[in-house]
Amino acid sequence: QVHLVESGGRLVQAGGSLRLSCAASGRTFSSYGMGWFRQAPGKERDVVAAINWSGSTTYYADSVKGRFTISRDNAKNTVYLQMNSLKPEDTAVYYCAASRGYSGSTYRGYADWGQGTQVTVSS
């Protein structure tokens, strides 16, 4: 099991940028695949991006391709989500999640979740 804590969410204007961080506890972080998900009010939790243990494989939802970048620093037990050209429809609570192995966009593959961080994009 890995404990996850997200940070970096805040209010930002459309067109702006944010970088979310997810700090993980545990000595085996480098063996986990990681994902970022988001949930807007009244909607399901959807995958945003995912990354394998080494960073060599990534996945992005179509809605964020070319704007968001997922990365990880295994020495710091941290995964990041760089979000550029933000749009009001990006407003949501953003969650990071960990999976044993790479789960990509498969929600059920993620066993450990953070508490979420709010991102609000104003128009």
How much is the average pLDDT of 45-52? 97
Residue 64 makes CB contacts below 8 A (sequence gap 6+) with 48, 49, 83, 90
d(CA 12, CA 86): 8
pLDDT digits (tens, 9 = 90+) for 70-117: 999 999 999 999 999 999 999 999 999 999 989 999 999 999 999 999
Phi, psi of 120 (to 5 degrees): -125, 125
Tokens coding 37: 């998900």
- Say if CB 88 and CB 121 are below 8 A apart: yes
- Say if CB 101 and CB 34 are below 8 A apart: no
pLDDT digits (tens, 9 = 90+) for 5-35: 999 999 999 999 999 999 999 778 888 999 9
| Predicted pLDDT of residue 1 | 84
